[in-house]
Amino acid sequence: MDRRTVLRATLTGVGAAAFSGSLWSGAFGEVLPDGVATVPSPYGHPGVPDVNGVALPPGFTSRVIARSGAKVAKTSYRWHDAPDGGACFPVAGGGWVYASNSEITATGGASAVRFGPDAAVVSAYRILDRTNRNCAGGATPWGTWLSCEEVRGGFVYETYPLGGRAAVRRPAMGAFTHEAAACDPDGKVVYLTEDENHGCLYRFRPTRWGDLSAGTLEAMVGAGPGPVTWARVPDPSGRTKEPRKQVAGAVIFNGGEGCWYDRGVCYFTTKGDGRVWAYETGPRVLRIVYDDSSVPVEPPLTGVDNITGARSGDLYVAEDGGNMEINIITPAGVVAPFLRVSGQDRSEITGPAFSPDGTRLYFSSQRGPTGTTSGGITYEVSGPFRA
């Protein structure tokens, strides 16, 4: 089949099964000169930018939660530079915490903002210190945030967004250029992406689920899209050889980025080739969900990066570059901009994450309008998100 042919996926919902084919008929329609698809998301096209510079569909509003170097509102805590990956965690009795990484060399780490049941900011604080270029990561089912170092020989740190415990390095999860993590509570594994142009997709099988201090690191093996298997990485520490070079026949991915697990499917992105992938854990099949080079018109989504999912089954994919957008991929196969940040062309969108009740979406512009690491802005979007 011609690679520019667009296929329709038939789904009962994102996560129930992987998308079939690589793209979808009628999913894009005509693309206007500004890059906006004429087939809108279920929420409609983003409108004119609001007072915060965020273009949103009708019925949605934004607010600024934090700015790098400035005190978070109603707190004495100064927000970190270069905010990156993030996730939300429920608080007993109501409210939630948003954890956010800092992609700064040598002093990265992570911070958190705590919200009350009414979404008012309650406090902000540090949850990880003195680590290196903390890029993305992932939430665990037991309420911790896995903060990943995006450097050669980098580690995963397990942090405690609700406080009360110091962060812990998890060397058993490998030493490599970590990007994101996604926990699969069904298979009791953690998937890990690697930000290298010849990187691997890994999975970590803890000796005991809920305890990441020991376990087996494996790399995906196969010819590419289609059936795959897994093979053990002999030396996760990388002392003898980088983990990505240790497994014969490993599937090679071009710049692993965001990672998200939902009901039997691990979704992840590769920025080097503009793809969104789906690994079906039951049949062990790898598929391409989206490929920007296969779109027969100007692609609505480029620079694929962080990814998260909503209760509706929709995927939300942030752009590093592109039009500074978060795009939605629906179970019906629509790929379209959900929001756009204006006047920040030297930045990237990072850290998309929904509040536990699904009514608020958090994200950051890593370098903001200044284009520098000290210019980061973290936002909240609220509105009628699909249940």
Question: Residue 133: is its pLDDT beyond 90?
Answer: yes
Domains of the chain: 69-309 (2.120.10)
Question: Residue 223: is its pLDDT beyond 70?
Answer: yes
Helix (H, G, I), strand (E, B) or coil at 127: strand
Per-residue tokens: 334: 């629509």
- Residue 34: its pLDDT value, please? 45
- What confidence tier does 32 reach under pLDDT thresholds 50, 70, 90? very low
Q: Across residues 377-383, what is the average pLDDT?
A: 98
- Residue 297: its pLDDT value, please? 81
- Residue 296: its pLDDT value, please? 80
Are 184 and 261 within 8 A, CB to CB? yes
What is the DSSP secondary structure assignment for residue 251, as one 8-state letter? P
Phi first, then psi, for residue 249 (nearest 5°) are: 80, 10
Q: Across residues 250-271, what is the average pLDDT?
A: 98
Own/partner long-range contacts of 354-358 (Cβ < 8 Å, ≥24 apart)? 354/88, 354/308, 354/310, 354/311, 354/385, 355/88, 355/96, 355/98, 355/115, 355/119, 356/88, 356/89, 356/90, 356/96, 358/310, 358/311, 358/385, 358/387
What mean pLDDT, rounded, does the chain reach? Answer: 91
Per-residue tokens: 385: 């998100």
Question: Residue 30: is its pLDDT beyond 70?
Answer: no
Residue position matching structure tokens 């915490």: 97
Neighbour-count burial of 377, counting CB atoms closer than 10 A to its CB (0-12 exposed, 13-18 middle, 19+ buried) = buried
- Residue 204: its pLDDT value, please? 99
Rounded Cα gap, residues 158 and 106, in angstroms: 18
Q: Across residues 132-140, what is the average pLDDT?
A: 98
At 84-132, the pLDDT tens digits run: 999 999 999 999 999 999 999 999 999 999 999 999 999 999 999 999 9
Rounded Cα gap, residues 219 and 233, in angstroms: 7
Beta pairing partners, 275: 270, 291
Dihedral sign, Cα of residue 343, residue 347, residue 348, residue 353: negative
Rounded Cα gap, residues 26 and 98, in angstroms: 36
Distance, first Cα to last Cα, the chain = 36
- Residue 362: its pLDDT value, please? 99
CA triple 204-208-211, angle to 5 deg = 75
